[in-house]
């Protein structure tokens, strides 16, 4: 027989915070189990955040090292070109050929280092984004157990009684819910109430032409135990009012259950966009 804490973990994965609340109410033993699970969840997420911070520090250290090496290569390239000019003036064809070969090696090394630098920068950005998702999910887990608990239970009860969900400002988890379109608000309500997910981003400035930069914003990022289930339900038309042709962008942990511009889309394992969405679901809709 599973312990109360293990039972709470299973309910969290299947129903989110509201499921754990309903199960634990009225029983001191169950409440202790839910509390122990919540503490473990907090500790685990803290470890993840700290690990990502250490990784980010290592990446930054490596980027500084790469910058120093590139500066040294630039100086070597300038000096080699000067030597080539001197050898040309002296009429030493053999020395010119040797120096040109040396310059080619310097340029090859420079390209390799710049490629590594680009990869490290991309990894740093993914690390920052992943840490952001972890922090936002932790914040939501705490709010759902405390200040939003009554509102959350009321929204779930309304869904069970009427089969409908309605957007409320608290569902945005402190983000720019006022900036969402009506269809995006309804979809966020489904993600929060029906799947127990946390909104982790709405309007953000990525500097890459992302739909997050639009005003109004037509979607959001969300994370939680059932984010993959939400992604698949949205992709395969299991959420009322949202067909695949309504999906501007849908990316998430399931590489095959994605959409782009209203068409099916599959992400390549290990690609930049795939790695960026390993830990959350990105859902944007037309309208």
- Quote the strand ranges of 178-256, DSSP E: 198-201, 219-223, 247-251
Q: Within this chain, do residues 165 and 218 fall inside the same structural domain, yes or no? A: yes
Within-domain flag for 10 = yes
End residue of a domain, out of 107, 123, 139: 123
Q: Are residues 103 and 189 in the same domain?
A: no
172 and 66 within one domain: no
Shared-domain flag, residues 8 and 118:
yes
Same domain, 94 and 205: no
Question: Are residues 276 and 163 part of one domain?
Answer: yes
- Tell me the residue length of the chain: 287
The reply to whether 193 falls in a domain is: yes
> Do 116 and 156 share a structural domain?
no
The total domain count for the chain is: 2
Domain end position, chosen among 123, 139, 171 = 123
Q: Are residues 162 and 280 in the same domain?
A: yes
Q: Is residue 143 part of a domain?
A: no
Nearest to 231 by CA among 38, 223, 82, 274: 223
Same structural domain, 154 and 281: yes
Q: What pLDDT does residue 184 have?
A: 93
d(C-alpha 216, C-alpha 239), whole Å: 23
- Are residues 188 and 224 in contact, defined by beta-carbon separation less than 8 angstroms? no
Q: What is the pLDDT of residue 260?
A: 92
pLDDT the model gives residue 46: 67
Query: E strand or H helix at 7, and its extent?
Result: helix 4-15
Which of 89, 123, 157 delimits the end of a domain?
123
| Tokens describing residue 90 | 């002296």
| Residue 128 domain-assigned (yes or no) | no
pLDDT the model gives residue 207: 47
Residue 44 lies in a domain: yes
Q: pLDDT at position 242, please?
A: 93
pLDDT per residue, tens digit, the chain (287 aa), is: 678 888 887 887 777 666 777 787 778 888 888 777 777 776 776 666 677 777 777 888 888 888 888 888 888 889 998 998 888 888 888 888 898 898 899 889 888 888 888 888 777 777 776 776 677 776 676 666 666 778 888 888 888 888 889 999 889 887 878 888 999 999 999 999 999 888 888 876 554 567 777 778 899 999 888 899 999 999 999 999 999 999 999 999 999 999 999 999 999 887 878 888 888 899 999 97
Query: Can you tell me the distance from the alpha carbon of 69 to that of 118, in angstroms, rounded to the nearest whole number?
Result: 14
How confident is the model at residue 11, as a pLDDT?
80
Query: Is the CB of residue 52 less than 8 Å from the CB of residue 127?
Result: yes
**CA-CA distance, 77 to 97, in Å (whole number)?**
15
Q: How far apart are the first and last CA of the chain?
A: 49
- For 72, the enclosing helix (H) or strand (E) is helix 28-90
Instruction: Answer whether residue 194 is part of any domain.
Output: yes
Q: Are strands 219-223 and 263-265 parallel, antiparallel or unpaired?
A: unpaired
What are the beta bridge partners of residue 74? none
- H or E element: which one contains 158? helix 149-162
Domain co-membership, 200 together with 93:
no
- Asked whether residue 135 is domain-assigned, the answer is no
DSSP 141-207: HHHHHTTTHHHHHHHHHHHHHHS-----GGGGTTS-GGGB-HHHHHHHHIIIIIT--EEEESS---S
Range of the domain at 162: 149-285
- Give the strand pairing for 281-285 and 219-223: antiparallel
C-alpha closest to that of 49 among 122, 130, 141, 139: 130
Whether 131 maps to a domain, the answer reads no
Tokens matching residue 157:
């009860």
| 99 and 216 belong to one structural domain | no
The answer on 235 and 181 residing in a single domain is: yes
């Amino acid at each position: 027989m599973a312990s109360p804490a293990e039972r709470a973990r299973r309910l969290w994965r299947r129903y989110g915070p509201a499921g754990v609340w309903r199960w634990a109410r009225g029983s001191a033993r169950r409440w202790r189990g839910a509390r122990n699970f919540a503490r473990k969840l907090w500790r685990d997420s803290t470890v993840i955040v700290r690990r990502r911070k250490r990784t980010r520090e290592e990446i930054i250290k490596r980027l500084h090292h790469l910058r120093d090496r590139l500066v040294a290569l630039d100086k070597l390239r300038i000096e080699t070109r000067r030597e080539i000019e001197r050898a040309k003036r002296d009429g030493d064809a053999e020395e010119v050929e040797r120096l040109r070969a040396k310059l080619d090696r310097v340029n090859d090394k420079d390209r390799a280092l710049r490629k590594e630098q680009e990869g490290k920068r991309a990894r740093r950005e993914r690390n920052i984004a992943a840490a952001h998702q972890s922090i936002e999910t932790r914040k939501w887990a705490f709010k759902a157990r405390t200040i939003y608990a009554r509102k959350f239970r009321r929204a779930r009860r309304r869904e069970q009684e009427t089969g409908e969900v309605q957007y409320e400002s608290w569902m945005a988890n402190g983000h720019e819910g006022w900036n969402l379109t009506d269809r995006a608000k309804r979809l966020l309500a489904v993600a929060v109430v029906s799947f127990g997910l946390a909104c982790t981003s709405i309007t953000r400035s990525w500097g890459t032409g992302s739909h997050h930069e639009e005003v109004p914003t037509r979607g959001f990022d969300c994370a939680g135990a059932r984010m993959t289930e939400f992604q698949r339900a949205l992709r395969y038309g299991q959420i009322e009012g949202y067909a695949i042709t309504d999906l501007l962008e849908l990316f998430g942990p399931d590489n095959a259950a994605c959409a782009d511009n209203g068409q099916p889309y599959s992400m390549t394992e290990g690609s930049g966009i795939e790695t960026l969405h390993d830990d959350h679901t990105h859902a944007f809709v037309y309208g």
